Amino acid sequence: MRLFRQRDQADRSNILQEQQATYLIAGLGNPGREYRENRHNVGFMVLDRLATRLGLTFSRLESKALLTKGEHEGRRLLLAKPQTYMNLSGQAVGALLRYYKVPLEHLLVIYDDVDLPLGTLRLRPGGGSSGQKGMASIIERLGSQDFPRLRVGIGRPPGRMEAAAYVLEDFSRQEAALLPEILDRAAEAVLTFTVEGLPAAMNRFNGLLDE
């Protein structure tokens, strides 16, 4: 009987360790070819860059999200691109978080921010949606705003252009030339978050591209 109890305890310990080492990285965007290069889809772009770096491909649909799984330095990574359109992103993120029993502190949501200059990264441990509809949906579905997020600056719209129209435009040629470096830096920030923790990632990556 003691042997069985020891095995049960070991199994429970292994399950707990696996959950503690699992991270859900959700990049926000809109599905469909017509939205692929939009500023609003920079969250998808970061995940694509991260998947390429890890040798992964998005080949399965699960809980209304394109999902791929991988490992990095002992961490299990779940990369998810919700396919519900931006304003319903919480459906996919909430379902995946519950199914894989990922703690809130191991969730990282990546999304565009018009209030940050192009190339600026901002990691934070929590906060409101600041009007970003995908984040608002996630906060509503989770019933909490206390989870890490990575905001990727896309800059303000020119003149009197509405932000809603601006984010659904493709990056300009000049902006697109900077994207590879921005996406590489964001992908590195994600990996630092999973391995070294949020404070280390914030200290290292928060700021403008050339800082």
Catalytic one among 30, 38, 40, 47?
A: 40
Superfamily of domain 18-205: Peptidyl-tRNA hydrolase (3.40.50.1470)
What is the chain's pLDDT, residue by residue, as a tens digit (211 residues)?
A: 555 455 555 555 444 454 558 999 999 999 999 999 999 999 999 999 999 999 999 999 999 999 999 999 999 999 999 999 999 999 999 999 999 999 999 999 999 999 999 999 999 999 999 889 999 999 999 999 999 999 999 999 998 999 999 999 999 999 999 999 999 999 999 999 999 999 999 999 999 876 5
For 33-53, b/e burial (b = at least 16 CB within 10 A) is eebeebbbbbbbbbbbbbbeb
Among 99, 113, 132, which residue's Cα sits nearest to residue 46? 113
pLDDT at 146: 97
Place of tokens 């190339």: 119
- Segments making up each domain of the chain, as ranges: 18-205
pLDDT at 60: 94
Cβ proximity of 123 and 189 under 8 Å? yes
Residue 40 appears among annotated catalytic residues: yes
Among 31, 42, 32, which residue's Cα sits nearest to residue 182? 42
pTM metric for this prediction:
0.90
Distance CA 125, CA 199 (A): 9
Enumerate residues 6+ apart whose C-beta is below 8 A from 22.
75, 76, 77, 78, 100, 101, 102, 106
pLDDT at 130: 87
pLDDT at 114: 95
